[in-house]
Amino acid sequence: MTHENRKSILFVCLGNICRSPLAEAVFRDIVETAGAARRFEIDSAGTGAWHVGNPPDPRSVEVGRRHGIDLSRLRARKVVGSDFDRFDLILGMDRSNVANLTAMAPASSRARIAEFHDFSTGTPRDVPDPYYGGDDGFEEVYRMIRAAAGSLFEKLGADMRGVSG
Ligand code: 4NP
């Protein structure tokens, strides 16, 4: 397996406690289930620093648990400059995340920055910030993330097809 056939993806939201930890864990579940874990490096981060070091929001942990996904060991971190060199793909959960990422990117950034839904499905759609809403919002966010993560895996799998490892 050559370096080109390994893809690194950073999922980004505002706090790194609600949406992007779910995206990280759901996408990891998809690649592990497909036996493709070695082909991916997967992480998540926030553009804001309020929750650095904290576990995900209990409502995200709970919605993950209901769907068989364990988020409890994840810890929030902030996006750093080296992420733009380290990751092939940096996916913001909504338009404001993408705008923040674009503003933070060093001139030397090699990462492709895109909106998660737009890159994965071809249709722009914000994953809404569920932080100030109720539990229903987290279920809706989970469903959106699960669908887009499946599309992302199909898209990247097609790009990487024919390569063993
Ligand atoms: P996230 O949700 O960006 O999906 O992690 C939020 C979490 C915390 C805050 C905002 C959004 N906050 O303002 O602290």
Query: In the chain, what are the domain boundaries?
Result: 7-159
Q: Active-site residue 19, yes or no?
A: yes
Q: How far is CA 65 from CA 14, 40, 61, 157, 164, in A?
A: 22, 23, 6, 27, 33
Q: What are 78's two structure tokens?
A: 């902030």
Mean pLDDT, the chain, integer? 94
Task: Give 74-94 pLDDT, tens digit per residue.
Answer: 999 999 999 999 999 999 999
66 given a catalytic annotation: no
What mean pLDDT comes out for the span 161-165? 51
pLDDT digits (tens, 9 = 90+) for 15-25: 999 999 999 99
Give the whole-angstrom CA distance, residue 55 versus residue 107.
Answer: 32
Model confidence at 121: pLDDT above 80: yes
* Statement: 7-159 belongs to CATH 3.40.225.10: no
Q: What residue has token string 């991916």?
A: 40
Residue 135 has pLDDT above 80, yes or no: yes
Query: Does residue 21 have its Cβ closer than 6 Å to ligand 1?
Result: no
pLDDT score recorded for residue 87:
98
pLDDT band at 160 (very low <50, low <70, confident <90, very high): confident
Q: How far is the CA of 134 from the centre of ligand 1 (A)?
A: 14
